[in-house]
Chain A
Amino acid sequence: MKIKKFFSSQKFIVFVWVLGIAVIWEIFAFIVAATKRTPVNVLPHLWQIIEAFFSDKKVSGKMTMAELIGTACQETLLRAAIGFAIGTVLGYLLALLMNLSRIVEKIAFPYLMLIQMIPILGMAPIILSITGDINTSRIVIAAILTFYPVSANTLAGFKAVEQEKCELMYSYASSRFQLYTKTLIPSCIPYFFTGLKISAPMAITASILVDTLQGGNGLGCMLSQSLKGGMTRLVFWDIVLISAIIGILSYQVMGLIEKLICPYKRTKKAD
């Protein structure tokens, strides 16, 4: 029974997935190593990527791989975080407004959908010409990508509140403000976090992608320099790996914050 439980547990499933991906990666890496002339450019072994990250060899100027990626991460993540925060606040406020007023909802919702459909790299030049500054553009784009999932999910959360809850509030002769603070806003927290969990990795991805458009010290800048041959190709691979890890972590962090805010979710039914 205990063994069965372990094999169906979340941890085990994650373990199997990671192992599976690693095995497939390595199979292809061996094939590539045997057939291509510069295997590192196509698909290096996982251990080469990890080894490169911890090695003391300077990859750019005086910096080792870890130092290089560390500073690049700081820049990119800071921009992603600022954009994410702005997008979250604005997205939440718009959801609130849309729920308060049907007219706002009818006008704003189609635009929300539209923004969602424009590819980031198509949006970037437009934003750049408006803001005139690449770093501001990177923040703005992270914000735009965060905005839609947060707004749409929060609005769905407001709509999903049981009608009876609102009727109870009505029967207590509550004010509209109380209806929101006591019932609607707390009810939609899980939906809000669904939005955050979707948009956190998106904000980071967007930030890295827009980095590649122009120079600077961000992750994406290093990534494209490495691809262009300005640095060893392993910089590229290390950044890919690290970005994936950061993306997953950002999702996990949102889940963790949600659990801290909603302790009732952790309580189990007492039979």
Chain B
Amino acid sequence: MDERTEIMLDNIGMTYKTNDGRDVTALTSVTLDIRKGEFISLLGPSGCGKTTLLRIIADLLTPTQGNISVGGETPRQARLKQRYGIVFQSAVLYDWRTVRKNVMLPLEIMHVPKEERIDRADKMLELVGLSDFANHFPGQLSGGMQQRVGIARALAIRPEILLMDEPFSALDEFTREKLHDDLLRIWRKTNKTVVFVTHNISEAVYLSDRVCVLSPHPGRLSAVVDIDLPRPRTAQLKSTPEFTALVAKVRSSFEGV
């Protein structure tokens, strides 16, 4: 195992038992090392097991096959040490709490003293550009702003690993592109390991160091594509031949879609 490995997936498989007793194989033999500080995407059509894999890493699911270690520990140990920040497709905000109090919630769970809670929440809100909305309620924010609050909340506990499950797929194109750049800026600033689930090829290529291509029936890892585009990246990159070539390469590595 490499010194720099953060998450090690070894021959991971997941078979669900449905209520009517059938077996559904969502993932088979996924082997992958995710490096510390890496931005990695899990890309594939829906139903190919992306969420399943992310949930296995997050300790929300136990794989039926294979081994997984996170920084040399089990996912459970990593979770108990609060090393994960999770962002879902919907922002999952608490509508009875203000934006600031939403970001403070995980810190309350961790018994961080009040002064520090406020301080850290405000820093996170500044990072995602929502300082002016600290006292608003989530219902008063647009979808893109709500997702930013979700990101701020995930970062507030200072996790080493940020797990994101299609966080921008419900947003419009313009908002999404803005959030891409914000996410890259935050990632560079905070040095997190990011596991980013998406079904959007261009999004995966633009954001990632590596793109893991998952194919369905059964869900499996069919390719890992290195994205050796220079950083920092800006929107202009998307119209360069290098970018287009990588998108084509990723697209061609899908099997049986």
Contact = CB atoms under 8 A, between A and B. Distances in A.
A267 B59 CA distance: 37
Contacts of B80: 173
Contact of B58 (A162, A171, A269, A270): A171
Contacts of B58: 171
B137 A171 contact: no
Contact of A174 (B60, B86, B92, B109): B109
Interface of A: 162, 164-165, 167-174, 178, 182-183, 186-187, 189, 262, 264, 267-270
B96 A262 contact: yes
Given A167-B60, A182-B105, A264-B96, A173 B140 contact: no
Given A164-B92, A165-B92, A269 B86 contact: no
Contacts of A173: 79-82, 109
Contact of A178 (B60, B94, B109): B109
Contacts of B96: 186, 189, 262, 264
Contacts of B92: 162, 164-165, 168
A267 B60 contact: no
A182 B106 CA distance: 10
A264 B137 contact: yes
A189 B95 CA distance: 12
A93 B194 CA distance: 42
A206 B59 CA distance: 51
B108 A182 contact: yes
A270 B108 CA distance: 28
A172 B82 contact: yes
B69 interface: no
A269 B109 contact: no
Interface in B50-69: 58-60
7 contacts: A162-B92, A171-B86, A172-B82, A178-B109, A182-B105, A186-B94, A187-B94
B110 A172 contact: yes
Contacts of B196: none
A183 B92 CA distance: 11
Contacts of B84: 171
A267 B105 contact: no
B129 interface: no
Contact of B139 (A162, A170, A264): A264
Contacts of B82: 171-173
A193 to B, nearest CB: 13
Nearest to B153: A168
Contacts of A170: 60, 79
B116 to A, nearest CB: 16
Contacts of B95: 264
A242 B172 CA distance: 55
A183 B102 CA distance: 11
* 3 A-B pairs closest in CB distance: A172-B109, A164-B92, A264-B137
Nearest to B165: A164
A149 B136 CA distance: 33
B254 interface: no
B136 A171 contact: no
A269 B139 contact: yes
Contacts of B139: 264, 267, 269
Contacts of A269: 139-140
B29 interface: no
B136 A270 contact: yes
Nearest to A267: B137
A165 B138 CA distance: 15
A168 to B, nearest CB: 6
Interface string B128-146: 0000000011011000000
Contacts of A182: 105, 108-109
B222 interface: no
B88 interface: yes
Contacts of A264: 95-96, 137, 139
